[in-house]
């Protein structure tokens, strides 16, 4: 079964906007936390997006995969960098993370608009 991650991201953004109207302080607070946590420091924004993507995979969160895949690509992450982050997620999360790694690969292909190359290292996905 396939998920349209581009449409899913848009769908989530619309519903988060509705939540913002109902629980503005909660959503605003989360937004501030996100902005502070994701701004460049010792790690640049691209690196932080790759970390967030890997955590989304390990936590089995398709929404996180959709948002952070989009942002990682927007920050200039290459398919090779993304695939390495996916590989780290699988190492840390095992079989269940592998299932969501497949979701992440699908999202990469959709957001990048291509069939991204698979990693070539032995033992990679």
Task: Specify whether the CB–CB gap between 46 and 72 falls below 8 A.
Answer: yes
Cα–Cα distance for residue pair 110/4, rounded to 1 Å: 8
Q: What is residue 60's predicted lDDT score, i.e. its pLDDT?
A: 97
Backbone angles phi, psi at 33, to 5 degrees: -60, -45
Annotation: CATH topology of 5-112: AhpD-like (1.20.1290)
Residue 18 has pLDDT above 60, yes or no: yes
Q: What is residue 124's predicted lDDT score, i.e. its pLDDT?
A: 38
Residue 48 has pLDDT above 70, yes or no: yes
Residue 32 has pLDDT above 50, yes or no: yes
pLDDT (mean) for 11-27: 98
Cα–Cα distance for residue pair 107/103, rounded to 1 Å: 6
Q: What is residue 117's predicted lDDT score, i.e. its pLDDT?
A: 46
Residue 115 has pLDDT above 80, yes or no: no
* Nearest to 56, CA basis, from 13, 15, 14, 101: 101
């Amino acid at each position: 079964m396939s998920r349209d991650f581009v449409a899913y991201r848009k769908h989530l953004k619309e519903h988060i906007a509705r939540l913002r109207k109902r629980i503005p302080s909660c959503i605003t607070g989360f937004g501030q936390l996100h902005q502070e946590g994701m701004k460049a420091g010792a790690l640049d924004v691209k690196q932080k997006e790759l970390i967030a993507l890997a955590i989304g995979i390990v936590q089995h969160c398709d929404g996180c995969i959709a948002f952070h895949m989009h942002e990682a690509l927007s920050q200039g992450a290459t398919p090779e960098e993304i695939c390495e982050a996916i590989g780290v997620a699988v190492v840390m999360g095992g079989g269940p993370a592998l299932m969501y790694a497949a979701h992440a690969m699908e999202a990469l292909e959709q957001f990048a608009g291509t069939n991204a190359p698979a990693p070539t290292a032995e033992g990679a996905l």
